[in-house]
Amino acid sequence: MKKLATFTLAALAAGVLGFSMRSTETQASPVAPAIAEDVVPVEDSMHEFMEYVFQPAYQRLKPALATAPADNKGWKAIKGDSLTLAESCNLLFGRAPEEGAADWKKHAAASRDGGAKLYAAAKAKDFTATQAAWKGMLESCNACHKQFENGKHILQP
């Protein structure tokens, strides 16, 4: 009986040790900030960042805003994507290029504020205001694209 208890205890310890080693391996992050609270970009390429953070929401909103949503599900989709775009603009402040950083931050603020207006209008279910805010936000995005992308990637409402 004592051997069985010792064996059980050893097996349990090995299992816990094996689990903790595996969980450490699976929790490892490709980015290891010096301080956990630091904001550290996962993707350094601005093109990749825009393509995978901003572009999907833009591509969903464009057809969604062609006509007024028929139900709450439609409005919820618009609110979700507009909030995603507005909040994502906050991430642009930490990605300012060395040259033109002040302008970059002005564009980021204008785009964020435009996204906030879009979100507020969608939250109010005001389609006219939603379309106007959508166009205003895109103008802010395009102003940045004109300055920092030489006019490439101009967005259409």
Look at residue 128 and tell me if it is in a domain.
Answer: yes
Judge if 60 and 86 occupy the same domain: yes
Sequential DSSP letters for 15-75: HHHHHHHHHHHHH--S---SSTTS---S---HHHHIIIIIHHHHHHHHHHTSS--SSHHHH
Look at residue 157 and tell me if it is in a domain.
Answer: no
Check if the beta carbon of residue 128 is closer than 8 Å to that of residue 69.
no
Cα 20 to chain centroid distance, Å, stands at 31
List the chain pLDDT tens, one digit each, 157 residues: 555 444 443 444 444 444 444 444 445 555 555 677 788 889 999 999 999 999 999 999 999 999 999 999 999 999 999 999 999 999 999 999 999 999 999 999 999 999 999 999 999 999 999 999 999 999 999 999 999 999 899 999 8
Supply the range of the domain harboring residue 12: 1-30
Q: What is the pLDDT of residue 74?
A: 97
Judge if 141 and 102 occupy the same domain: yes
* Distance (Å) of CA 87 to CA 5, 14, 42, 66: 56, 45, 17, 23
Judge if 51 and 113 occupy the same domain: yes
What CATH number is given to the structural domain containing 55? 1.20.120
Judge if 4 and 68 occupy the same domain: no
Check if the beta carbon of residue 97 is closer than 8 Å to that of residue 67.
no
Look at residue 54 and tell me if it is in a domain.
Answer: yes
Look at residue 69 and tell me if it is in a domain.
Answer: yes
How many Å apart are CA 60 and CA 154, to the nearest integer? 16
Check if the beta carbon of residue 94 is closer than 8 Å to that of residue 112.
no
Look at residue 37 and tell me if it is in a domain.
Answer: no
CB-count exposure of residue 93 (10 Å: 0-12, 13-18, 19+): middle
| Total of domains in the chain | 2
Judge if 25 and 54 occupy the same domain: no
Look at residue 153 and tell me if it is in a domain.
Answer: no
Judge if 16 and 78 occupy the same domain: no
Q: What is the pLDDT of residue 40?
A: 86
